[in-house]
Amino acid sequence: MKSRSAPGSSTLTSRLTNRLHGPLLLALVVVLIPLAGFYVIEAFIAPNQLVRIVLRSFPVLPLAIWTLWYERSRPFERQRPAIRVAGRILLLVLVMAFAVAVLGIGINWLYDPNRVI
């Protein structure tokens, strides 16, 4: 049973446990940092233009899904379920189209010497 401190006291009564110390943290760092570096490098120097566009635009997708479906201030929350789902899907498509236009095609156009898609 956990002991309780007096009301208003800022003293912790139990020891916080950190689960990411030691070998797991080291493994995450050793694996994720080179993988992220490889991903970013490939997003800018991949030989195929379509691969570069997709790699630069893809990180927007999970953020857009989280914002449209799971964030507390979701759009269309007071609408009927059919309108809510259709509106969120339409917004997701628009967000991804904007991401592809700006992050994919826009950056590709700036850095590609041939300036073609």
**Tens digits of per-residue pLDDT, 28-45?**
888 889 999 999 999 888
Tokens of 65: 């899904």
Q: What is the pLDDT of residues 105-117, one digit of tens each?
A: 888 777 766 655 5
Dist. CA 117–CA 106, nearest whole Å: 10
Q: Answer yes or no: is pLDDT of 49 > 80.
A: yes
Half-sphere exposure of 64 (CA within 13 A, CB side): 18
Residues counted in the chain: 117
Q: At what angle do helices 49-57 and 23-45 cross, to 10 degrees?
A: 140
Domain spans in the chain, listed from the N-terminal domain onward: 23-111
Are 92 and 65 in contact by the 8 Å Cβ rule? The answer is: yes
Model-level pTM?
0.63
